[in-house]
Amino acid sequence: MASERAPRTLFEKIWSKHRIMERDDGQVLLYIDNHLVQDGAAPAFEMLRRRGIAPRAPQRTFATPDHYVPTDSRDLNTVADPEKRRMAEALRQDSARAGIPFFGLDDRRQGIVHVVGPEQGLSWPGTTIVCGDSHTSTHGALGALAFGIGATEVSHVLATQALWQRKPRTMRIAVDGALGAGVSAKDVVLSIIGRIGTAGATGHVVEYTGSTIAGLSMEGRLTVCNMSIEAGARAGMIAPDDTTFQYLAGRPFAPAGQAWDDAVTMWRNLPSDADAAYDREVALVAGDIQPMVTWGTSPEDVVPITGRVPDPAGVSEAGRREALTRALAYMGLTPGTSMTDLRIDHVFIGSCTNGRIEDLRIAAGVVKGRRVAAGVEAWVVPGSGLVKEQAESEGLDRIFKDAGLQWRYAGCSMCLGTNGDMVAPGKRCASTTNRNFVGRQGPGSRTHLLSPAMAAAAAVTGRLTDVRKLLDNAA
């Protein structure tokens, strides 16, 4: 039977279901189903304490430390800086005081909060999820409305389980067709950012659609939604389908028994209606997407691995020319250089973008039977303790170690270096993370963003390399 209501998008269905009330100025008080908390949350808890307010819904809150934890041991005391140690410690205390479920360093389930949430079945389709971290957009891969918030907003959610929001605009990014060999979800999202720019989706919630997206594994979808924020989006989301349900089924915090069946019935109604309208639409063809790598200091500074370092002289707009020149100076690059001529010092495989089991399997597949190039320091940092265990049970750790990569404990690590894992000044890092900002991996660090397969290829060749060449050789 045709519904009488106007066709709605996935976003609109979730938004209207969580609308508590509307203010005169049009801002909506949105109910928050699920609040994830990491070890940057100390200031937010402090704000509440100062007002004498206790967290209102600990059962809807979940905490695990990731930014400040060491990755060479599970002993917090090895973190030299007492202030940093204090951040991870504060989360344990704040969680205990409030009765918030907490996976600490002594818990094998600890990890990067955006890896742990989906892994534990905490992130459900149709729900609202927030966290004081911009990459909360990751969880949208399961069909949730998930977005990052600031410290004051974290304290607001802790106090009220609700948040004031102006309704964002919607944008559909459709990717259709088959991806080529050696091309992954990371290349898809880097291509999207290259196409629309880092402000391309500002003020919008992006829904990714099309046969390519539908064909991605849950891991791949999480990678795409993760980097929505690098396109400026408030959130990214993908309609839930059988891939989603199969991924969630049986996970510790997912519904079970009759509740599971009821939930799936409800979740099947979430996908956008056929005629639903979006404020903006962008389309990409999967077959055009190559393995991508960034050259500059913004995620939009991206080219196919077959490309070259751009030349500022060819840019007419003065501001853009100046920015490009500055980026090249920082990155130590000469215009016109082939990307594959760039030697690298570090490789980092991990983060909430690419620290899941599938990412490690792909990277291990590339390094297997090969050796890390001389002079290169390569790290693998699993996204969670359970990813680490799974990888070890499959023997991936052996493959990495035999090839000369370091196998470490779960955490954010070298993605932003707040725990002390950093790239030294002037050193070049091939990294599976999401940001290549000036100083992101440590003061003076030079980051090239790429996929796990491409990072593995860089590790064994010592330079940025088209992973497809290694695949051909292997075949």
117 binds another protein (CB under 8 A): no
Short-list 262, 342, 259, 328, CA closest to 298: 328
Q: Are strands 280-285 and 292-294 parallel, antiparallel or unpaired?
A: unpaired
Q: What is the CA radius of gyration of the chain?
A: 22
Q: What is the number of residues in the chain?
A: 475
Sheet of 128-131: strands edge to edge?
A: 61-63, 34-37, 128-131, 145-148
In this complex, which beta carbon is closest to another protein, that of residue 219 or of residue 230?
230
* From candidates 292, 302, 416, 453, binder to ligand SF4 by CB under 6 A: 416
CA–CA distance, 10 with 239 (Å, rounded to integer): 7
Binding partner of residue 112 among another protein, ligand SF4, none, CB cut-off 5 to 8 Å per kind: ligand SF4
* From candidates 35, 114, 156, 221, binder to another protein by CB under 8 A: 156
193 binds ligand SF4 (CB under 6 A): no
Q: How far is the CB of 295 from ligand SF4 (least distance, A)?
A: 20
136 binds ligand SF4 (CB under 6 A): no
Would you give the binding string for ligand SF4 spanning residues 38-77, x where CB under 6 A is met?
----------------------------xx----------
Q: Is the dihedral of CA 179, 182, 184, 189 positive or negative?
A: negative
CA–CA distance, 469 with 450 (Å, rounded to integer): 16
- Of residues 4-23, which lie at the interface with another protein (CB under 8 A)? 17-18, 20-21, 23
Q: What percent helix, strand, coil does the chain show, rounded to 5?
A: 40, 15, 45
Binding partner of residue 412 among ligand SF4, another protein, none, CB cut-off 5 to 8 Å per kind: ligand SF4
Would you give the binding string for ligand SF4 spanning residues 396-415, x where CB under 6 A is met?
----------------x--x
279 binds another protein (CB under 8 A): no
Task: Locate the DSSP E strands across 98-201.
Answer: 128-131, 145-148, 162-165, 169-176
CA–CA distance, 9 with 205 (Å, rounded to integer): 11
Binding partner of residue 352 among another protein, ligand SF4, none, CB cut-off 5 to 8 Å per kind: ligand SF4
CA–CA distance, 268 with 260 (Å, rounded to integer): 12
In this complex, which beta carbon is closest to ligand SF4, that of residue 67 or of residue 186?
67
Short-list 173, 379, 148, CA closest to 272: 173
In this complex, which beta carbon is closest to another protein, that of residue 152 or of residue 217?
152
CA–CA distance, 454 with 470 (Å, rounded to integer): 10
* From candidates 434, 441, 447, 465, binder to ligand SF4 by CB under 6 A: 434
Binding partner of residue 351 among another protein, ligand SF4, none, CB cut-off 5 to 8 Å per kind: ligand SF4
Short-list 405, 423, 406, CA closest to 414: 423
Contact (Cβ atoms closer than 8 angstroms) between residue 169 and residue 279? yes
Can you say whether residue 472 is alpha, beta or left, with left for phi > 0 and alpha for psi between -120 and 50 degrees? Answer: alpha
CA–CA distance, 274 with 174 (Å, rounded to integer): 14
In this complex, which beta carbon is closest to another protein, that of residue 88 or of residue 173?
88
In this complex, which beta carbon is closest to another protein, that of residue 48 or of residue 363?
48
CA–CA distance, 245 with 347 (Å, rounded to integer): 34
- Of residues 324-363, which lie at the interface with ligand SF4 (CB under 6 A)? 351-352
In this complex, which beta carbon is closest to ligand SF4, that of residue 135 or of residue 139?
135
Q: Which two tokens stand for residue 178?
A: 């088959």
435 binds another protein (CB under 8 A): yes
CA–CA distance, 80 with 73 (Å, rounded to integer): 13
**Would you tell me which residues interact with another protein (CB under 8 A)?**
17-18, 20-21, 23-27, 29, 31, 40, 42-43, 46-47, 51, 67-68, 81, 83-84, 86-87, 132-134, 148-153, 155-156, 159-162, 164, 166, 168, 198-199, 202-203, 229, 232, 234, 259, 266, 298, 300, 319-320, 322-323, 326, 416-418, 435, 437-440, 443
**Would you tell me which residues interact with ligand SF4 (CB under 6 A)?**
66-67, 112, 114, 133, 135, 351-352, 412, 415-416, 433-434
